[in-house]
Amino acid sequence: METHTPLLKVDQVGIRFGGLKAVADVNMKLYPGELVGLIGPNGAGKTTFFNLLTGVYVPTDGKIFFKGENIRKQPPYKITKKGISRTFQNIRLFEELSVIDNVKVAYHSLAKHSILSSILRLPNHFSGEKEMEEKALEFLKLFNLDQFRDDKAKNLPYGQQRRLEIARALAANPELLLLDEPAAGMNPKETAQLMDLIAFIREKFNLTVLLIEHDMSLVMGVCERIYVLDHGQLIAHGTPEEIRNHPKVIEAYLGEEVS
């Protein structure tokens, strides 16, 4: 696997908020097709790191290469178009929009009809909208969400909202999917279903996945490699087996050993 060029290469990336170094000197390489975990105690900077990758924050130091191109100063919508898509720790659906419209928003950048042709209702408005509708419906079926297609997103049960958020992120047609604690608030059964779903989409869409997760058993079970973040810095990196026995990781999670 290491023979490929990396899909994502993070080079000495960091961000300071005033005097606070939220993330510092992070190096990371993701290769096509990998499922990599990112763990760390609360406040370690995991979500901040996602925000750096997706352009919500601009890193104060370092470079981020996606498919060989430095995306450090790109706005989020451009980064999404280049092929990085994400979900959020606190679900961020378009609550008042219907389930199908949530997915259609992700298809927006593929729209062939202009604002003018929509206003004038030119033929390519209708064909464009119809194409989106069909694609979105097909997508919902894939995730067993088509039964809810006309319901408002906010009225879905919690587990389905998570599912919809993942579906919506995938509709944006990413090569790299960033999942921010997708199992948060789920019971063990739902978590197991979620893991099946992640395995399924990975296969189906040829994805590379970076996963933030608190549930250690889950991360250890599915990830091929794991990065550990603490106080904004990478403290360890390796296979689940290596991470499990890494002294620094144990220290970060359980505290220092009393000598």
Partner 1 sequence: MIKLKQTKGFWLSILFAFALFTIVQIVISSALINFYIVNIIMTMGIYIILAVSLHLIIGITGQFSIGHAGFLAVGAYTSAVFTMKLGQPLLIGLIAGGLAAAIAGMLIGIPSLRLKGDYLAIATLGFGEIVRITFFNIDYIGGPSGMMVSQLTTWPWVFGCMLLTILVIRNFTNSTHGRACISVREDEIAADAMGINTTYYKVVAFLIGSFFAGVGGALWAHNFYIIQPSQFGFLKSFDILIFVVLGGLGSMSGAVIAAILLTLVSMLLTEYPETRMVIYSLILIITMLYRPRGLLGTKEVTSLFTNRRNKKGGPKDGNTHTVA
Region of 58-66, 101-109, 206-214, 216-224 interacting with partner 1 (CB under 8 A): 101-109
Between 39 and 103, CB nearer to partner 1:
103
The residue within the footprint of partner 1, chosen from 33, 41, 76, 240 (CB under 8 A), is 76
56 binds partner 1 (CB under 8 A): yes
Region of 3-11, 100-108, 239-247, 251-259 interacting with partner 1 (CB under 8 A): 100-108
Between 23 and 172, CB nearer to partner 1:
172
52 binds partner 1 (CB under 8 A): no
Between 120 and 258, CB nearer to partner 1:
120
72 binds partner 1 (CB under 8 A): no
Amino acid in the structure at residue 96: E
- Which of the residues 124 through 143 are near partner 1 (CB under 8 A)? 125, 128-129, 132
57 binds partner 1 (CB under 8 A): no
148 binds partner 1 (CB under 8 A): yes
> 81, 110 in Cβ contact below 8 A?
no
Question: What is the distance between the alpha carbons of residues 159 and 167, in angstroms, rounded to a whole number?
Answer: 12
Between 20 and 116, CB nearer to partner 1:
116
Region of 35-43, 63-71, 75-83, 218-226 interacting with partner 1 (CB under 8 A): 75-83
- The residue count for binding partner 1 (CB under 8 A) is 46
The tokens of 211 are what?
Answer: 């996963």
Question: What is the distance between the alpha carbons of residues 111 and 240, in angstroms, rounded to a whole number?
Answer: 42
CB of 54 to partner 1, least distance (A): 6
* Residues lying near partner 1 in the complex (CB under 8 A): 54, 56, 75-77, 80-81, 85-86, 88, 92-97, 101, 104-109, 111, 113, 115, 118-121, 125, 128-129, 132, 147-148, 150-152, 154-157, 168-169, 172
